[in-house]
């Protein structure tokens, strides 16, 4: 959402204070002009709103629209609403040729604004014809008290709430599984990161990759799994607790960047053959196994999916994001696409993703 200082760019001479609106309505009525009033939240301006205003303007000389303030929209519509602030909603409505003036009103109901503006007509949509709910009944009584009349347009109804629900739940948004390496990929640090006790001071996000992940989660419905080999545990460089502490710290930094990781998986083990080859190291025998879940093995990915009660078949595409041959081989084992992030900026990563023709 826009910052407060950016709202100054969204201003219109047609958006006036409530006091100014009261004065204008009074003056227009003295000139024997009819003044119409439409009232509501008008969140996410859509064709239904536009048609309603056009029809309302045809019923009067001047059309005023009162916009419900943010706090009352939120109390009525619930969490996440309004989508746009009252100032942005007022700007949007004021941009329409059919609307002459807009005022933001800090009232819970339409009754108060009717009583203050005293319009000639209070104009509602056809779905309010014959309604006997307390709200519309009190509005009918209010317009009568101020000497005005309620009028109804004859337009098809579109619901902002239904539109939001459709966008969130029914659009065919592509479902993308992202399998992401940690060291050298999400973070710049590599080479058994965590050996030193001052690792927090040295931890650094790989911003081009973070920005790339942010783009993907905005454009697609993504599930993001981090899978990382942490053989440093077997080498006695650090503990499993250290790995998990680093994962938590990285996750917290990513959250601040708006990137949500759905699951973290790591393998602290090395296999027997590897330990024999590296016989100049003293390994912790508890982490030397005949068979491990290390990449390029896909076991960590399947463990994560099982944990989330899903599987590979639930995804349109799978993309592995990493910096090593093991990550490339993991992608092959998953029948997935692969992007090697080594030395690449955001623009290059985005271009490579486009070239993959995933969707």
Q: 149-152 and 121-124: which strand pairing?
A: parallel
Give the count of beta carbons closer than 10 Å to the beta carbon of residue 225: 21
Asked if residues 148 and 188 have their Cβ atoms less than 8 Å apart, the reply is: no
- Residues 133 and 217 grouped into a single domain: no
The whole-angstrom separation of Cα 316 and Cα 49 is 36
Q: What CATH number has the domain bearing residue 308?
A: 3.40.50.1000
Q: What CATH number has the domain bearing residue 142?
A: 3.40.50.620
Residues of the chain with pLDDT under 50: 1-5
- Residues 159 and 176 grouped into a single domain: no
Which tokens sit at 255?
A: 């959250």
**Domain enclosing residue 287, as ranges:** 172-355
Asked if residues 205 and 186 have their Cβ atoms less than 8 Å apart, the reply is: yes
Q: pTM of the full predicted structure?
A: 0.56
The predicted pLDDT at position 4 comes to 44
The predicted pLDDT at position 5 comes to 46
The predicted pLDDT at position 1 comes to 47
Among candidate residues 163, 187, 216, the one where a domain is terminated: 163
The predicted pLDDT at position 47 comes to 85
The predicted pLDDT at position 227 comes to 98
Select from 83, 60, 64, 73 the least CA-distant residue to 24.
64
The predicted pLDDT at position 320 comes to 98
Q: 337: helix, coil or strand? A: strand
The predicted pLDDT at position 60 comes to 98
């Amino acid at each position: 959402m826009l910052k407060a200082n950016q709202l100054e760019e969204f201003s219109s001479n047609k958006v006036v204070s409530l006091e100014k609106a009261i004065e204008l309505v009074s003056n227009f009525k003295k000139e024997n002009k009819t003044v119409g009033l439409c009232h509501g939240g008008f969140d996410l301006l859509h064709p239904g709103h536009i048609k309603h205003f056009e029809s309302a303007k045809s019923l009067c000389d001047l059309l005023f629209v009162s916009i419900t303030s943010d706090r009352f929209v939120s109390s009525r519509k619930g969490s996440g609403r309004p989508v746009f602030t009252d100032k942005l909603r007022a700007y949007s409505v004021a941009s329409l040729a059919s609307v002459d003036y807009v005022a933001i009103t800090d009232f819970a109901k339409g009754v108060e604004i009717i009583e203050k503006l005293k319009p000639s007509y209070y104009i509602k949509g056809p779905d309010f014809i014959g309604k006997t709910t307390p709200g519309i009944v009190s509005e009918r009584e209010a317009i009568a008290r101020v000497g005005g009349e309620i009028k109804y347009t004859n337009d098809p109804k579109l619901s902002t709430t239904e539109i939001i629900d459709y966008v969130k739940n029914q659009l065919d948004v592509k479902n993308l599984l992202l399998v992401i390496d940690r060291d050298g990929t999400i973070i710049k640090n590599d080479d058994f990161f965590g050996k030193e006790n001052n690792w927090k001071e040295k931890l650094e996000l790989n911003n081009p990759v973070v920005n790339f992940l942010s783009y993907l989660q905005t454009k697609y419905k993504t599930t993001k799994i981090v899978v990382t080999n942490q053989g440093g545990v077997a080498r006695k460089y650090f503990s499993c607790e250290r790995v998990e502490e680093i994962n938590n710290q990285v996750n917290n930094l990513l959250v601040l960047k708006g990137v949500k990781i759905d699951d973290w998986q790591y393998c602290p083990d090395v296999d027997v053959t590897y330990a024999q080859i590296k016989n100049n190291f003293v390994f912790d025998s508890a982490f030397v196994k005949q068979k491990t879940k290390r990449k390029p093995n896909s076991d960590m990915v399947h463990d994560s999916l099982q944990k989330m009660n899903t599987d590979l078949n639930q995804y349109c595409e799978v993309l592995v994001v990493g910096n090593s041959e093991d990550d490339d081989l993991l992608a092959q084992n998953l029948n997935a696409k692969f992007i090697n992030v080594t030395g690449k900026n955001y623009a290059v990563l985005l271009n490579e993703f486009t070239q993959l023709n995933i969707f």
